[in-house]
Amino acid sequence: MAEPDVIVIGAGVVGLSAAIAAVGRGLSVTVLDREGPAAGASAGNAGAFAFTDILPLASPGILRKAPKWLLDPLGPLTVPPAYALKIAPWMFRFWRACQPGRVAHSTAAQTALMDLSKAELEPFLKETGTASMLRKEGNLQVYEGEAEFKASLAGWKAREDHGIEFHHLDAAAMSGIQPGLAARFTHGTFTPGWYSIADPKLYTLALADHFRTIGGKVQRAEVTALRPVDGGVDVLTTDGEIQRAAQVVLSAGAFSHRIARTIGESIPLETERGYNTTLPAGAFDLRTQITFGGHGFVVTRLSTGIRVGGAVELGGLDLPPNFHRSEAMLKKAQGFLPGLKPEGGVQWMGFRPSLPDSLPAIGRAVATPRVVYAFGHGHLGLTQSAGTARIVADLLTGRQPAIDIASFSPQRF
């Protein structure tokens, strides 16, 4: 069997998008994944193209909220006690990334990637036959009282400085966009430029189907190591098989750092364990995505149901799921949306790959320029998938990337 030009490790939305973009440049591509397409975070995310979400998680605002949140084991941000010591070095880097100068740098870099991703998205959807899955219903961020609303204004000023459209609303105006909110939410901000996909799992599976139709190959294999060789890279798997390609794209989500370690690279990737419950489609008359920022979760309308989920549990890859977190968010959602029907839900937990400064790792490996990294997008993998795919395709074909990628260097830590 002929060696492919490129092996992409990871069949999530970022990996498949990059694979499709590479085929579009005339390269032969094989995708390897330990479970197959859409098995990880790409299956259960909130389905949003959150192009207006330019502010990094690492920020002074989070530092102010974190002590209170960390005291609540079911709150928006938590670290399980069993994982606290292991994650301490990552948390120190996160704390450093919260300094104002670093936040400004991360915001500018995030904005550039968002702008590229938005510009690339609709042409990519058209190319892949998935344009009908796109929704442009906006996002409504809601606040409990004037104090919470005023605390958000600095963030909205930063978005305004970057040309992002939004509209501040009172309770009456909010009800015109989304009826049925509890009276406790007195203020809101609507961002019309916030898009979503009908269902993230179905979208990712559709990308896999399209990839196959244009000549790509998807194989189920768990990659254990990379080994640079003359003229290429060997990819080792758990079954003892060795596959070789001229270039490799490492896009294995939360497992990427383990594979990068095999070529001598230590990248401080951690796992935001996200939880949700997907209710039947008739559970609520949802007209836009609603973000309950003070509680760290969203409610999203999908073609397959109403999804209630979010929050951040920094708990690594090996601890068992704590579905009490899903239950806590659903209980809150019942209070926030009194007409919500909570019956018949399906719970889920997935791993979001997260770096301390909230920016992904996009660039070449130190050991060999034949390995390109594209991982660590946190909760923005779907959002930034088309833009990342463009950059990866540029790197694979020796072109100047569409934006300056220095801020995303895997070696920046």
Q: Classify each residue of 86-95 as buried b or exposed e, where b means 16 or more C-beta atoms within 10 Å of its C-beta.
A: ebeebeebbe
pLDDT at 1 over 70: no
Q: What is the pLDDT of residues 149-182, one digit of tens each?
A: 999 999 999 999 989 999 999 999 999 999 999 9
Residue ranges covered by each domain of the chain: 58-97+135-192+270-352
Q: Determine the angle formed by the axes of helices 146-161 and 60-70, rounding to 10 degrees.
A: 140
Q: Give the least confident one: 37-46, 69-78, 195-204.
A: 69-78
Give the model's confidence band at 70: pLDDT under 50 very low, under 70 low, under 90 confident, else very high.
confident
* Chain centroid to CA 114: 12
Give the model's confidence band at 73: pLDDT under 50 very low, under 70 low, under 90 confident, else very high.
confident
Give the model's confidence band at 346: pLDDT under 50 very low, under 70 low, under 90 confident, else very high.
very high
pLDDT at 61 over 80: no
Residue 67: predicted pLDDT: 73
CATH of domain 58-97+135-192+270-352: 3.30.9.10
**Residue 112 neighbours by CB under 8 Å, 6+ apart:** 403, 404
* 371-375/247-250 β-pairing: parallel
Give the model's confidence band at 121: pLDDT under 50 very low, under 70 low, under 90 confident, else very high.
very high
Residue 71: predicted pLDDT: 67
